[in-house]
């Protein structure tokens, strides 16, 4: 498995090491060895900064209205709970001061490649059979808060200034990802009525 090595970062950024990462599901990779091509490999560890917007989670509950003649309020009948969604915002910035070709390499390694890696999670791939196949499922680990199998349902990139005058390459990127949980791996920490 490939691994993306981060350069030295300012004190405000804390490396999460193996506590926080996204990894292409090994079972999917075994079945689709040509399905994922990236210089960064199949695993993207990431950093949280003090400026992160946090982690948003949601799961909608569905009820059906049952109207009863002569009753002012409809009965609500539970139908089901929708898939749990987790939204994370990743910040990628060029670390350190470089000039010339070294700066373009740093921008590519530290901003463009991780942003493209996340963007690629939502696109299908064309297999040897020349058919379009679903994007890869991933393993998402966020410390002890969450560990599970997910699929990326939305990825939005915002390129951030400053931009290089000659190439217009950005020095930063903000990537907002929405993941739909297909299977959770860790327990529910004994919270009442918490489902996994």
Sequential pLDDT tens for the chain (196 residues): 333 333 434 434 445 556 677 888 888 888 877 777 777 777 787 765 544 567 788 888 888 888 888 888 878 888 888 888 998 888 888 876 665 556 677 788 888 888 888 998 888 887 777 788 788 889 988 877 888 899 999 999 999 888 877 888 888 888 899 999 988 775 544 444 444 4
Number of domains present in the structure of the chain: 1
142 in any annotated domain:
yes
Domain of residue 147: give its range: 13-184
195 in any annotated domain:
no
Provide φ and ψ at 13, rounded to 5°.
-100, 130
Between CA 149 and CA 138 the distance in angstroms is: 6
5 in any annotated domain:
no
Strand order in the sheet with 146-163: 43-45, 20-24, 138-142, 146-163, 170-184, 85-93, 55-58
77 in any annotated domain:
yes
What does the pLDDT read at residue 187?
52
What does the pLDDT read at residue 25?
85
72 in any annotated domain:
yes
pTM of the model: 0.71
164 in any annotated domain:
yes
144 in any annotated domain:
yes
What does the pLDDT read at residue 15?
52
Helix (H) or strand (E) holding 25: none
What does the pLDDT read at residue 51?
45
Between CA 150 and CA 136 the distance in angstroms is: 9
CB of 150 closer than 8 Å to CB of 181: yes
**Phi-psi region at 9: left, alpha or beta (left = phi > 0; alpha = psi -120 to 50):** beta
22 in any annotated domain:
yes
What does the pLDDT read at residue 17?
57
Q: Is 86 exposed, middle or buried (0-12, 13-18, 19+ CB in 10 A)?
A: buried
Return the CATH number at 108. Answer: 2.40.30
CB of 106 closer than 8 Å to CB of 7: yes
């Amino acid at each position: 498995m490939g691994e993306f090595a981060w350069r030295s970062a300012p004190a405000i950024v804390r490396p999460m090491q193996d506590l926080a990462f996204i990894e292409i599901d090994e079972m999917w990779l075994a079945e689709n060895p040509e399905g994922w091509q990236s210089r960064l490999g199949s695993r993207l560890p990431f950093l949280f900064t003090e400026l992160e917007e946090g982690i948003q989670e949601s799961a909608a509950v569905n009820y059906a209205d049952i109207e009863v003649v002569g009753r002012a309020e409809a009965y609500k009948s539970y139908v089901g709970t929708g898939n749990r969604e987790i939204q994370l915002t990743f910040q990628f910035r060029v670390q350190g001061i470089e000039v010339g070709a070294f700066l373009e390499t740093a921008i590519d390694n530290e901003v463009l490649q991780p942003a493209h890696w996340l963007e690629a999670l939502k696109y299908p791939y064309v297999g040897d059979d020349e058919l379009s196949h679903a994007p890869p499922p991933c393993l998402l680990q966020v410390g002890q808060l969450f560990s599970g199998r997910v699929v990326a349902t939305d990825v939005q990139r915002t390129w951030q200034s400053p931009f290089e005058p000659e190439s217009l390459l950005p020095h930063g990127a903000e990537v907002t990802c929405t993941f739909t949980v297909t299977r959770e791996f860790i327990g529910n920490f004994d919270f009442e009525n918490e489902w996994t």
